[in-house]
Structure 1
């Protein structure tokens, strides 16, 4: 696939640089307080209509206030309401949450129960091709096995899930296979002894020492140290920090400290979304991913603190485990490797780490939280904020309005696939995508062939999962 060459020292200024079909702008009503029926208890309570950011902040407040009674929360995008799980039957606890504006749902499994279940899975079922994440909507741990988990491995995983007890976890199969994607925006290139590699830029940031820099996937930073904005070009940036496995992020500093950057995402048709802050994800909210293969697609966050066990491409039979990821149902394909995950209101949420599936049949895609990467590296993003909203703060895009549409106020619940999901070619943000996510230069699929995707094995097909 072709790529747009960007001027030196202006590389990756905008996240995404490929011309694309713009997503339709769906301007949805602003949030207002309203009365709604509490689905869990059957009583009428003052359930506030909220934007995703507001719901995230409220969830954080209630988590502190409710203590051990708090068992997770999620954003009901259909009603724009925060649903809070509680395990205590204490009426005072329930009333406290209701008065704050949340819908209260009494559940069986506590947060500690679910974390213990995840701990058991880690100890007994760390198998390549598996993942698990807490799903507050079902009050269970969602365990996923890809197509490579068969025979004795499947039996081991299944028996481990069953040992957790009834109502504690759900096990499902994924048609694809989990492979690391590449995080980013505009294409960036590097040369190794094994040949050329290609990744993508995530978000521009300012390093703790004031230097201009950008975030990308950790497996890119481990694969190569020096990066260029053009294939076979001179390096313009050098890896400062790289973490993979365990986490999946890199901080890469521009060599020219006068490099001018801006925090924007290309939404196609010449439209951009200004990135103003980093935000934590909220289960149930709508998020957007940009990609040069499939364009602009959106979907929902389906789980938090996900653990993914990738088959190691550097250690035969080994496992590269990444923790703390955001799980989504946003699709991705080869060449979409690494797209920036962001919200309609301009919040940077994630860097693509890996997943399975495609944009015809769907699948799972996992993202490294931007907030964690910023905290670990000491970098700042956008207006200088390097933390997310307390709680699970996500962007305010609970609806599916196209990110290009001045979107801070789009709080509707339209089907995310209806607005921008099918905007082919929209994003440029995944232009790259061939560096072997498993982090070793030897894994950069392809032996030095053109990583730009023009018929080479390095167009992302070896890193992303296809059906």
Structure 2
């Protein structure tokens, strides 16, 4: 019986560091550093959920099982330490600061969810400040300021808000552009209360044409130049993963009842897949790419889904749910090439222009990744966030990585996330 962990990470297209999309948007301007302000925040019980991939183990009968490490005792303590170590390494925090961050962030995530519901149409977006532990909630109606303040968050009155900006994004998505046009993507910026369109250097006219063609308000859009050109690619090389159509390599995102969620570019509907051990097989049951980057693989009985992910340090960590974390929150990614890395969530609902076409609805982060990490699990504390779609840079020099949010995948095909 093999005990080697296989990553639940699809080898989705990653963007080459020399041809990546524009630099991380203004949501990422915050330098990742140890913060004196954050050190004085009150502590509490540490959130134990870790970002990782589901581990698969070849069973004696030849099948493939997603097998968790024990959820109690020394194993739980070890995986908690692993998460703290990753946060300290990638965010420049002390052990105490990392522990407080997880606890404070869990409270902010809960508060964010409550205010989204309570404010309804007045909710204009939110962002979490990793240095101060403060949650800022934008509102489109001054009358909602009191509600935000009483809840314990900082209000910001805006004109458009995320709902207004997302309508502009939808209008831009209706336009068809290519990299040859000079436009590399667009996203709504909660910080600027505007939609940011990124273009190749010297090609602002392409953005102006896009904006005019979509018929959106020019004063609600800003244009930023970049020298980077996004493109997607997938490599076929060894590692802990599953095999696509007998040759390509991908990894699982999150286990769901009957299979697993993953990135859509890993295979069109009907594509056969198999566990790297050869014990389990499956078929891509649903897939969208481009447009969105979401997929669902239906597996046979030799694959048993469980609510755990691989921490790439000999253990596995539990998944408790899929509550969305606000921008600015810390997030961790597990990948079969580079293992486990952490960073922060930046712009949401970003559209990226790949050579294959536009992909909308992605979330941008400052977490590094490399080819083979694509499609992997993203978690903030113990809450599943998404699967890797693409990125730039590497885990030596750093980079930017996008993920396809998980909840739209679950809703699209009525899937049930496996939790522990």
Indicate whether the TM-score tops 0.5.
yes
Q: How much does 1:357 deviate?
A: 2.5
How big is each residue's C-alpha offset from its partner over 1:353-382, in whole Å with a ceiling of 9 and x where there is no partner? Answer: 112232344333211111111122222123
Q: Distance in 2 between matches of 1:133 and 1:333?
A: 23
Is the partner of 2:348 in helix, strand or coil? Answer: strand
SS in 2 for 1:155: helix
SS for the counterpart of 1:290 is strand
Per the alignment, in what secondary structure is the counterpart of residue 114 of structure 2? helix
Aligned partner (choices 312, 336, 353) of residue 373 of structure 2: 336
Q: CA 1:364–1:99 in structure 2 vs 1: closer, same or farther (change >3 Å)?
A: same
Structure 1 residues 189 and 262 mapped into 2: Cα distance closer, same or farther (>3 Å)? same
Paired with 1:268 and 1:218, the residues of 2 have a C-alpha distance of 24
By how many angstroms is 1:14 displaced? 6.0
Paired residues, number: 336
Other structure's SS at 1:115 match: helix
Does the CA-based 8 Å contact 1:134-1:142 persist in structure 2? yes
Residue 424 of structure 1 corresponds to which residue in structure 2? none
SS for the counterpart of 1:268 is coil
1:200 aligns with 2:245: no
Distance in 2 (alpha carbons) for counterparts of 1:303 and 1:219: 22
Match of 2:309 in 1: 265
**Aligned 1:92-131 pairs, distance under 5 A:** 93-124=144-175, 126-128=177-179, 130-131=184-185
User: Closer, same or farther in 2 for the Cα pair 1:264/1:276, shift >3 Å?
Assistant: same
| Mapped contact 1:9–1:236 kept (Cα < 8 A) | no
Q: Is contact 1:357–1:364 with CA below 8 Å preserved after alignment?
A: yes
Change (3 A) 1:242 1:24: same
> 1:187 aligned to 217, 222, 241, which one?
241
1:298 and 1:29 map into 2 onto residues whose CA distance is 11
Other structure's SS at 2:149 match? helix
Tell me the residue number matched to 2:132.
79
Equivalent residue number for residue 294 of structure 1? 338
Q: TM-score, normalised by structure 2?
A: 0.69
TM-score, normalisation: structure 1: 0.62
Pair 1:307–1:180, CA change in 2 (3 A): farther
Alignment partner of 1:236 out of 267, 281, 285: 281
Higher helix share: 2
In angstroms, what is the RMSD of aligned CA positions? 3.5
Q: Does the aligned pair in 2 maintain the 1:125–1:156 contact within 8 Å?
A: no
Once the two structures are superposed, the pairs formed by residues 269-284 of structure 1 within 5 Å of their partners are 269-284=313-328
Q: Which residue matches 1:45?
A: none
Alpha-carbon contact 2:335-2:372 (below 8 Å) kept: yes
Cα distance, 1:269 vs structure 2: 2.7
Structure 1 residue 225 and structure 2 residue 282: aligned?
no
Residue in structure 1 matched with residue 260 of structure 2 by the alignment: 214
Q: For the Cα contact (< 8 Å) 2:331–2:345, is it kept in 1?
A: yes
Unaligned runs of 5+ in 1: 33-48, 208-212, 313-318, 385-467
Give the Å deviation of 1:83: 0.5
Aligned to 1:367, which of 381, 400, 403? 403
Q: Distance in 1 between matches of 2:157 and 2:103?
A: 21
Q: Structure 1 pair 362/121, CA: closer, same or farther in 2 (3 Å)? A: farther
Distance 1:30 1:290 in 2: 20
